[in-house]
Structure 1
Amino acid sequence: MSFKSEIQRRRTFGIVSHPDAGKTTLTEKLLLFGGAIQEAGAVKSNKIKKGATSDFMEIERQRGISVATSVLAFEYKDIKINILDTPGHKDFAEDTFRTLTAVDSVIVVIDVAKGVEEQTEKLVQVCRMRNIPIIVFINKMDREGKDAFDLLDEVEQKLALKVTPLSFPIGMGYDFQGIYNLWERNINLFTGDSKKNIDDTVEISDLSDSTLNSLVGEKAAVTLREEIELVEGIYPGFDQDSYLNGELQPVFFGSALNNFGVKELLDCFVSIAPTPRPKASEERIVAPDEDKFSGFVFKIHANMDPKHRDRLAFIKIVSGTFKRNTAYLHVRHNKNLKFSSPNAFFAEKKEIVDTSYPGDIVGLHDTGNFKIGDTLTEGEILNYKGVPSFSPEHFRYINNADPLKSKQLYKGIDQLMDEGVAQLFTLDLNGRKVIGTVGALQYEVIQYRLEHEYGAKCSYENLNVHKAAWVEPQDEKNEEFKEFKRVKQRFLAKDKQGQLVFLADSKFSLQMTEQKYPSIKFHLTSEF
């Protein structure tokens, strides 16, 4: 197959939502329809040790939440699909924000009963900033929830999206009978008491056809005709260019747990979703069909296999082809590296691949060369933009709880920080280590992983810090900067890259410092 046609058959997307909207279940059902797995894991049941296919860290299985982005790939109708299943929990939002730099489109999952929730709003805002094409999937239609039109209004108002329904529910909760597919003009019916089986799809190109009455009953048929007339009257028709430019968002209804509406979503997705898109670097815009390879690291995962202490750097390929055993330039280190066993993924299953194309995600074994945001190329100096570190919101001292294991502790902290799980600051005054996280739950994850993956124990001590601000002086030799360093010595630290950071103890203190030292810039993200 030619290079161009390999690019054309790639679709790389992320699934985002608030916790518990059914994101991991939807991921699993997409894999099921794609023929990639034979049976779905019981996601919520801790009694069944299988767990969701995409949750492969032990702590995720115990908690029933996803704490790391999983990468899953499968083929469907000769289209190569790469899914990035992201954590929904707000404490792991940073991982999700970084993942959104590696996707070409997004599916947003919304719970029919809860509607649009806070975390969904934040994530959609990031997608809109980057003009990422969005498809909305309204899940759990087999439960009682909000009216379909109310939900569509809520999505438009709260998420500032312009929606067009491509499927519509027939009833809801106990009265849920199926889905009318506006995209393909057919009806999918629920059958049986278990509501697990999908009856054959019935073609209905004309809703005034009397067959509809015999299928869903007189009352439901009348309601459906009225609702579809309303939908076609109020909402704009689907236009692929508007969708690809991030100006129009198709909406699907269904129930992922009961396999309902998932196939419709997948069929429509493969025909409308974007192929790999050009990406901006600091130097220029790089198109996927360029001959020369380039890609960037958007995630690092330590101990994918706890027996082997391996670290994997996940690379999104932007242009050209990535070949095994070929030397590529690591731009930040300015040195060439070769990779003998690049991996493609299916949750924790990995396969060695010889050639990968734009849109693909490749895992490279890493001995500590990579950090998030690094670029690999065939020789050109490129730096891809948009993989920031945000200022943490929680800060704690980390102490060694087992003096005999200090080597393991420092190695563990070092590797987990490279993953971007949290950020490490070393105080200038006394060298104490401070860990900053976006959410408090991350401290538990760090403690758990240090003990189970590195055999090290740690304890925490609270530290009163409001925000970490990266310091950028106009001139390091001027008197103002020297005075700032002398006066604020107690609050200064270095991050993992050796950048100077001011740990402000309150919003007021940060504002006062900015006013007092006008020649110094304070940044709340480290990508400046």
Structure 2
Amino acid sequence: MKKNDSVTSSFVKEKVLREEIQRRKTFGIISHPDAGKTTLTEKFLLFGGAIQEAGAVKSNKIKKTAASDFMELERQRGISISTSVLSFEYKGNKINILDTPGHKDFAEDTFRTLTAVDSVIVVIDVAKGVEEQTERLVEVCRMRKIPILVFINKLDREGKYVFDLLDEIEQKLGLRITSLSWPIGMGNDFQGVYNLWEQSLLLFSGQKKQKIEKGLELKNLHEKILDKSIGSKSAELLRQELEIVREVYPEFHRGAYMKGDLQPVFFGSALNNFGIRELLDVFMEIAPGPSSKESEQRLIAPDEKSFSGFVFKIHANMDPRHRDRIAFVKIASGVFRRNTPYLHVRLGRKFKYASPSAFFADKKQIIQESFSGDIVGLHDTGNFKIGDTLTEGEALRFKGIPSFSPEHFRYINNADPMKTKQLEKGIHQLMEEGVAQLFSMDYNQRKIIGTVGALQYEVIQYRLENEYGARCTYETLPVYKACWVEVDDEKHPDFQEFKRVKQRFIAHDKENQMVFLADSVFSIQMMKEKYPLIKLRFTSEKITA
């Protein structure tokens, strides 16, 4: 009897685990700045009941800040600087959104975040079309076969001709798209959207087009009610355009979408809350749940019983009053439970976590357990680095946590010698977050900060002063690329000569890996020709062992 009870209990636990995993959707929202990414995020939260009012609403008398932009500098600048993690329930699904920075200077944070999502929504401004930063982000998604859904935003404003824009998306982003909704007009003539997925008509109503009529089921586009609803001229144009859509674009197949081979497109206006519920409903139906994750040892399935997860982001001082440091962990398999000892693989030690948190922007709530697909925040006293793995005992190391060669380099100087300790602590913690990379010159031990974008220096300076009470100044350094050095035989005479000749250009990163700071493409080419046994890497993964 006891054996049967044990078998039944085990079966129930497995069933609960499968059900919890299946109802989770973890995705990122990516775009170029000002395409409406954060506004879209907040409208999702509104539908999920997570907030009562969108922070992106602006008027002459009111200027609220977006709920997901919690850092003071983000409020001042009006841009997203750091990835925000937001969780809420919607129609029986547990939704985890990662709202990423759109600005190119913070791209590295976004690239790392893409390791923690199972799908993405790409937001495109109908007037601006495909922009440079969007191209870079989508390229990373395509390389990783991440399922992509495209949302064309701001249809209530004048923009590019729809078919031209779709051609641009295909050509510049290298996507194979199919439209699951279609706009009726644009700008002042924007009347609504026809939902091809549900075969229904969604219309604006009211003088200022701020109200939305419920979807009108319309499987036959030749019904007279279409002419009555949007006018004969608009109805005929819609029929013609949808005929072209059916002929030119492939039919939607979820399998192709899940493999990253087909990308559905939706239209709407995030600011006016138009087409957002329809987008969210279809997304919940077609988007993948937690996916398998590649480790150096083996492929990890999300429904495995044993817990495993990896750190993809670290953020210090989310609450400046408490000087806390949070490590964001994507759960790759099993269940994470509060106050349960887990193996920190790199350190080879077990730790318990008394207050694991789920996030809504800067607000956090202590949770008892989290399932595969979830993002959990762990209070960190300095034990974590980006790329670290937690397990129930297996020595796993996950792949794909990228570190890119910086594009800007500056010496950092202490502007207040009385605050040396504060400056050192601040630099150490900010670099552990991954906001930039720290290098120490071998010949004079001076510290160099390398960033993907110049705006990061302003962020670092601001955070050092406001969060650590330290001040710094910078000196520009004429470096073209940071190249990680690999050599099989460190005692080889050529390697010893390289270190002697290039000593003024050699540094070590915070993982103590050797880096060659090249001042030009020419010097890299000369280096390769003169020292063929030395390999240079321009992109590395965080080494955690």
TM-score w.r.t. structure 2 length? Answer: 0.95
Alignment counterpart, residue 66 of structure 1, candidates 77, 80, 85: 80
Question: 1:368 is matched with which residue?
Answer: 382
Q: Spell out the pairing of 1:69-84 with structure 2 (5 A cutoff).
A: 69-84=83-98
Alignment counterpart, residue 4 of structure 1, candidates 5, 14, 18: 18
Alignment counterpart, residue 425 of structure 1, candidates 421, 427, 439: 439
Alignment counterpart, residue 399 of structure 2, candidates 385, 400, 423: 385
> Which segment is superposed worse, 25-34 or 517-526?
517-526
Q: Is the 8 A contact 1:46 1:62 kept in 2?
A: no
Q: Spell out the pairing of 1:217-256 with structure 2 (5 A cutoff).
A: 217-256=231-270
- 1:35 Cα deviation (Å)? 1.5
Structure 2 residue runs of 5 or longer lacking an equivalent are 1-14
Q: Distance in 1 between matches of 2:158 and 2:220?
A: 29
User: 2:291 aligned with 1:277, yes or no?
Assistant: yes
> Which segment is superposed worse, 313-322 or 466-475?
466-475
- Could you give the per-residue CA deviations for residues 270-310 of structure 1, whole angstroms, max 9, x where no partner exists? 00000100010011100000011000000000100000111
TM-score w.r.t. structure 1 length? Answer: 0.98
Q: Spell out the pairing of 1:107-118 with structure 2 (5 A cutoff).
A: 107-118=121-132
Question: 2:310 is matched with which residue?
Answer: 296
Q: Distance in 2 between matches of 1:366 and 1:389?
A: 21
Paired residue type of 2:71: M
Q: Is the 8 A contact 1:167 1:251 kept in 2?
A: yes
Q: SS of the residue aligned with 1:2?
A: helix
Paired residue type of 2:328: F
Q: Distance in 2 between matches of 1:109 and 1:465?
A: 34
| CA RMSD in angstroms, aligned pairs only | 1.2
Identity of aligned residues (%): 71
Q: Is the 8 A contact 1:42 1:48 kept in 2?
A: no
- 1:194 Cα deviation (Å)? 2.2
Q: Is the 8 A contact 2:21 2:290 kept in 1?
A: yes
Q: SS of the residue aligned with 2:539?
A: coil
Q: Is the 8 A contact 1:46 1:64 kept in 2?
A: no
Call closer, same or farther: CA 1:55–1:146 in 2, change over 3 Å: same
Question: 1:175 is matched with which residue?
Answer: 189
> Which segment is superposed worse, 146-155 or 7-16?
146-155
Q: Distance in 1 between matches of 2:349 and 2:360?
A: 30
- 1:448 Cα deviation (Å)? 0.4
Q: Distance in 2 between matches of 1:43 and 1:433?
A: 43
User: 2:522 aligned with 1:503, yes or no?
Assistant: no
Paired residue type of 1:161: L
Question: 1:344 is matched with which residue?
Answer: 358
Q: SS of the residue aligned with 1:369?
A: coil
Q: Distance in 1 between matches of 2:539 and 2:423?
A: 27
Q: Spell out the pairing of 1:73-472 with structure 2 (5 A cutoff).
A: 73-472=87-486
Q: SS of the residue aligned with 1:306?
A: coil
Paired residue type of 2:187: G
Q: Is the 8 A contact 2:480 2:519 kept in 1?
A: yes
- 1:337 Cα deviation (Å)? 1.1
- Could you give the per-residue CA deviations for residues 201-242 of structure 1, whole angstroms, max 9, x where no partner exists? 211121111011111111111111111111112111111101
- 1:400 Cα deviation (Å)? 0.4
> Which segment is superposed worse, 38-47 or 488-497?
38-47
Paired residue type of 2:461: Q
Q: Is the 8 A contact 2:57 2:63 kept in 1?
A: no
Paired residue type of 1:373: G
Call closer, same or farther: CA 1:401–1:49 in 2, change over 3 Å: farther
Q: Distance in 1 between matches of 2:59 and 2:79?
A: 12
Paired residue type of 2:247: G
User: 2:494 aligned with 1:480, yes or no?
Assistant: yes
- 1:36 Cα deviation (Å)? 1.2
Q: Distance in 2 between matches of 1:157 and 1:502?
A: 37
> Which segment is superposed worse, 122-131 or 227-236?
227-236
Q: Distance in 2 between matches of 1:525 and 1:44?
A: 41
Q: SS of the residue aligned with 1:27?
A: helix
Q: Distance in 2 between matches of 1:306 and 1:431?
A: 31
- Could you give the per-residue CA deviations for residues 337-396 of structure 1, whole angstroms, max 9, x where no partner exists? 111100001111100011100100000011111111111111111110001110100000
Paired residue type of 2:256: S
Q: Distance in 1 between matches of 2:392 and 2:20?
A: 20
Q: Distance in 2 between matches of 1:50 and 1:294?
A: 39
Q: How many residues align?
A: 528
Q: Distance in 2 between matches of 1:495 and 1:288?
A: 34
- 1:47 Cα deviation (Å)? 7.3
Q: Is the 8 A contact 2:118 2:146 kept in 1?
A: yes
Q: SS of the residue aligned with 1:132?
A: coil
Paired residue type of 1:307: R
Q: Distance in 2 between matches of 1:47 and 1:419?
A: 37
Question: 2:507 is matched with which residue?
Answer: 493
Q: Distance in 1 between matches of 2:396 and 2:62?
A: 47
Paired residue type of 1:164: T
- 1:43 Cα deviation (Å)? 5.8
> Which segment is superposed worse, 12-21 or 499-508?
499-508
Q: Distance in 2 between matches of 1:124 and 1:42?
A: 25
Q: SS of the residue aligned with 1:155?
A: helix
Paired residue type of 1:392: P
Q: Distance in 1 between matches of 2:142 and 2:165?
A: 20
Question: 2:8 is matched with which residue?
Answer: none
Q: Distance in 2 between matches of 1:193 and 1:483?
A: 77
- Could you give the per-residue CA deviations for residues 32-52 of structure 1, whole angstroms, max 9, x where no partner exists? 111111110136679746300
Q: Distance in 1 between matches of 2:481 and 2:339?
A: 44
Q: Is the 8 A contact 1:46 1:61 kept in 2?
A: no
Structure 1 residue runs of 5 or longer lacking an equivalent are none
Q: Is the 8 A contact 1:21 1:110 kept in 2?
A: yes
- 1:519 Cα deviation (Å)? 1.2
Q: SS of the residue aligned with 1:389?
A: strand
Question: 1:521 is matched with which residue?
Answer: 535
Q: Distance in 2 between matches of 1:337 and 1:28?
A: 35
Q: Distance in 2 between matches of 1:47 and 1:212?
A: 40
